[in-house]
Each structure stands twice: as C-alpha cells, then as structure tokens.
Chain A
Amino acid sequence: MNIDYRNIIPELKVSVSTAKKEIMVNLRYPLWVIFWAIMPIFWLAPFIFQGHALVGGRFSEFFEELAGSGDFVTFAIIGSSLYAYVMSALWGMGLSLRREQWGGTLEAILISPCNKFSVLFGKALSDSILTSFYAIVQFALASMFFGATVRLENIFYVVLVVLLMILALYGIGFVLSGVILMYKEPGALLNFVDTLIYTICPVNYPLKALMLFLGGAGYYIVMVSIFFPLTPTLEILRTLLLPSFKPYINIALAASYLIVATIVFLTIGMLLFNFVEKKIREKGGIEAY
C-alpha cells in the first residue's frame, strides 16, 4: 500500500464527512442514543450491589491490599466507563459494516474512488465521538447514583491516554471488521470476545485478583491481558484518577506500549482488510455470502 501525501487533505475530508453522516444518522434516533447511554449502568450496578453484599459498604480492606485503593465502587465505575470504548470498537464498527453488507452499500463504498480506509476512519471517528459522550454520561450517572471519589488535576493526561487507547482499539476494530466480513455469524464470536475481555481485563477487579486464585494460570492470563489496550489504559487512568492506587505494571512502559500497539494493530488491520477485500472479490461479489 502506498500513500500519496498530496491526497491526504481530500481523504481527510472524506473521513470527516463520513463521520458527520454517521453522527447525523445516530441523532435521528434520539431514543436509541439515550438507550445506549443508560444501558451500561445496568451492567455496572450488579457488581456494585454484589460488593455491598459481600463487604457491607463501599470499602474493602482486601481490595486495598491488592490495588492500593479499597474503594471498589469508584474502581468499577472507571472500569466500566472505559469499557464503553471496547464495546463500540467490537460491536459498532464491525456490525455497522455488516449492516452495510446486508444493505448492499458496502460494495458501493469499496468501489468508490476514495480510499476505503478514509471511510472506515470516518466511521471510527464518529463512533469514538459518540462513545466518549456515552462514557462521560455513564461516569456522571454512576457517580451520581453510587458516588465516586476521583482526583481531577490530571485530567489532561487522562484525555491523552484515552485518545491513545481509542487509536489502538480501532486498530483492533479494523482487524475484527475484516474477520466479520468473512465470518458468517459474527454475533456469537463477538459475544464471546466481549465476555472474554471483560473477564481478563481489570474492569471490575484489579489485575492481581486474577493471579490470586487462578494461581499460575492467572499469571499467564495477566500476561495476555496486558497486551490488550484496555488493560494498560486502565492501569494508567486509575493511577491518575484514584488516590493511592498502585498499578501492577509500570506506567511509563504501559504508555509506550499503547503507542506501539496503535501502530501495530492499525497496520495489521489494514493488511487484513485488504486481504479480505481481495478474497471477497475473488469469490465474486462482496454480497455473495
């Protein structure tokens, strides 16, 4: 793939207009937007209630031993707000391409003269804008209902790290969209990946908890987990936001890894997408399946 730098501005315009279109389409169904903004609270709440049932309050001594901070409520609120981005990278991009495949517009996009990655990038852009909105709403609502104690003086770094994570996640999103276009029933696969990530990343519990009772196996799971961009991001964010949080991995290392991951995943994603497109063309028609 060779990039012609003179084309960058027009291609960016394609991305921006795609993003605008997507956001407009979303805003036309305001009930859906509200629906998706509120839903995650329902996923978070059971964990908080479970915590209350098990320790009788919002502070756990053992949790403090593991994470440096015993406030498991704020811990989980940060985790689940960030999880919104994983959901959107998994479901949003892949499934929206799938819908276009169904609707027959995917072919039109792929054969249009603009670079298809500009279109994909536009989708990712609109998705991340919407998701940021959802994440903020969720954080606000959850803090309102359950209470959260965070330090806000590092908010600039928080935004920066989240941006990095978004880039890396959408790299994975590219990879997955490629897989989804080839795969017949993406629902089951996505559901599984979703649940797997939720289990092995420190969304509700600290990384150390995985090793706590899974022992040696837990160690390897942690090793896998830290390569998924959500994990280093959560470690950094909690260090920035939670007073007295002790990260399990080195923060500077985590930040550099995010940068590397962005580049690697985006590249793999693009290569795979090109490959899939070629495969589909060879099979005759992307609508073929």
Chain B
Amino acid sequence: MWLSYELKVVTTVVKKELVLYFRYPVWVLFDALMPLLWVLSLVIYGMALVGSSYSNNLARLTNTGDYISFTVVGMIVSSFAYSTLWGMSYALRGEQWSGTLESTFLTPCSRFSILLGKALSSMLTTSVWVIVQITLVTLLLGLRINFINLPLALLFFLISLPSFIGIGFSLAGIVLDFKEHSAFVNFLSSLLGLLLPISYPLNILPPFLRYFSYALPPTYAIEGMRSLLVMGCSLSELIGLIIPLVFFDFFWLIAGVTIYLVEERKVLKNGTLGYY
C-alpha cells in the first residue's frame, strides 16, 4: 500500500518533469546538440593528433586502437552517470527558483520518491539523446560497438546505478543548503572530467590522480561498459570491477540518504528551504 503510493509518486514526478522539459523547447534543442559538439571536438582533436581513426599508442595501452569508439562510449556512459548525479540537485534547484519547492515539500510523500522521480526523468531524456547521438556518430564516424554485449553492458550499468543515486542524494542535500549550484556543478563536473577515464585510459593519469579516480563509482561503470562494448574482456576482469561497485552501492546509498537528511534538517532550521 505504502510502496504502491510512493511508486505512484515517482511516476507522477517523472511525468510532470517530462512535460515541463518539453515546454522549454530551447533547452531541448541545446540538450540535443551539446553532447554532439563535445564528441565532435574530442574526435577532431584525435584526428589532428594521429591523422586517422586509429591510434597505435592507444592500442598499445588498451585492447583497442579505435579511439573514436573508445571515446564515444566513455562519453555516453559518463553522460548517463552525470544525469543521475546531477539530475536531482539540478531539479531541486529549479524548484527553488520557480518557487514550487515548498509546495512540493508540503505534501506527505517521501522526499526520496520525489528525488528518484527527478533522477529517472533526467535519465530518460538523456537516453533519448544518447540514442540520437549513437545513431549519428555511427553514421558519420563509423562507430564499432559490440552489440551482442549490450544486455550485459546494461546490466553492468544497473549494478552501478545505486551508487550514482546515492551520490545524487548527497549532492541534492548539499545543493539544498549551499545555494551556489552552478559553481558547485561546474567545479565537480570539471574535476570528474579530469578524473574519469572518458577520452583516455586510466593509466595515462599521474598515479596520485589515479587513486582519486578509483574512488569514483563512474570510473568502474565506464571501464566495465567500455570493455564490454568496445574492447572485449574476460569475466575475471569484469568481476574485478563489479566487486568494488557493489561495495560503493551500499556505501553511497547509506551515505547519500544520511547526508541528504542532515542537510535537509539544516535547511529546515535555517528557514531557507525555498530560498533561491
């Protein structure tokens, strides 16, 4: 009973977020174009460096020299990760801006259902653009993806999802209180952009940075899915990635809920819940 009510809240939030999303057509357009531009600039840069779509050095470092597929898959997985990580805090911030956060918090449903709804809707919109992106990139640049492993890759993503959601909860809590959202997002995304192995393998990073990368769940998601989709890999390799991910799932779900609740309490004490 309780669960079916909360699930209904999740779907209601998803539906509303999607309706709202498409009422801002300019955003939709930019959302569709921006990742394409990013892929484009990474690929052009690669072309300028090696003159073709194959890098001998990358082949030496990893199992593949096809840096276009390497990078595109890295970008796609990371954009899914970002959409879960930021989806919730971004939407909360939006509600503070539009003034609807207080009315939402006045309802008797769980905050986590609302947050999950926001994460889910942002993942859905991301999926749409990712599919568009994959199609375009495949047509334009010749993406070579091992589609047989796609179900396994999706499973791998599902395993990493709880940890992303946990981190998303904590970010949502922090943003509720720390109102400088864009600077915060900017800072963390830039940091992630450096630490996550999106357009290069991890062993390129200086060792002290690599330790930070290993502390980030998206690192494992990218490595695992890329292995499955681009490079081909062994089961033992995958298990080596899944074990830390499962650990992170538990750790971040608990930490995320705790951090969110602590921050929410702080905001309820400050009286700044709805403040922009």
Q: Do chains A and B touch in the complex (CB under 8 A)?
A: yes
Q: How far is the CA of A208 from the CA of B183 in the complex (A)?
A: 34
Q: How far is the CA of A207 from the CA of B201 in the complex (A)?
A: 27
Q: How far is the CB of A185 from chain B (nearest CB, A)?
A: 7
B49 touches A72 (CB 8 A): yes
B190 touches A43 (CB 8 A): yes
Contact flags B37-48 to A (C-beta < 8 A → 1, else 0):
110111111111
Q: How far is the CA of A195 from the CA of B41 in the complex (A)?
A: 9
B34 touches A50 (CB 8 A): no
A198 touches B41 (CB 8 A): yes
Q: How far is the CB of A220 from chain B (nearest CB, A)?
A: 15
Within 8 A of A (CB), among B50-82: 50-51, 55, 57-58, 60-61, 67, 71
Q: Within 8 Å of chain A (Cβ to Cβ): is B211? A: no
B61's closest neighbor in chain A, by CB?
A: A53
Q: Within 8 Å of chain A (Cβ to Cβ): is B26? A: yes
7 contacts between A and B (CB under 8 A): A46-B199, A49-B204, A53-B199, A54-B55, A60-B50, A192-B30, A204-B45
B198: contacting residue among A35, A46, A195, A206, CB under 8 A? A46
Residues of A within 8 Å of B, CB-based: how many? 40
B positions within 8 Å CB-CB of A: 24, 26-27, 30, 33-34, 37-38, 40-51, 55, 57-58, 60-61, 67, 71, 182-183, 186-187, 190-191, 193-194, 198-201, 204-205
A56 touches B193 (CB 8 A): no
Q: Within 8 Å of chain B (Cβ to Cβ): is A39? A: yes
- Chain B facing A: main interface SS: helix
Q: How far is the CA of A56 from the CA of B199 in the complex (A)?
A: 14
Residues on A with C-beta less than 8 A from B57 are 53-56
Within 8 A of B (CB), among A45-91: 45-47, 49-56, 60, 62-63, 65-66, 72
A56's closest neighbor in chain B, by CB?
A: B57
Residues on B with C-beta less than 8 A from A56 are 57, 60
A42 touches B24 (CB 8 A): no
B48 touches A46 (CB 8 A): no
Residues on B with C-beta less than 8 A from A52 are 200, 204
Q: Within 8 Å of chain B (Cβ to Cβ): is A199? A: yes
Q: Within 8 Å of chain B (Cβ to Cβ): is A9? A: no
B194: contacting residue among A45, A53, A198, CB under 8 A? A45
Residues on A with C-beta less than 8 A from B194 are 42, 45-46, 49
Residues on A with C-beta less than 8 A from B60 are 56
B193 touches A55 (CB 8 A): no
B48 touches A63 (CB 8 A): yes
B40 touches A199 (CB 8 A): yes
B48: contacting residue among A49, A53, A212, CB under 8 A? A212
Residues on B with C-beta less than 8 A from A199 are 37-38, 40-41, 44
Q: How far is the CA of A143 from the CA of B33 in the complex (A)?
A: 33
Within 8 A of B (CB), among A199-213: 199, 204-206, 208-210, 212-213
Q: How far is the CA of A45 from the CA of B182 in the complex (A)?
A: 21
Whether A55 contacts B45 in the complex (CB less than 8 A), given A46-B199, A50-B199, comes out as no
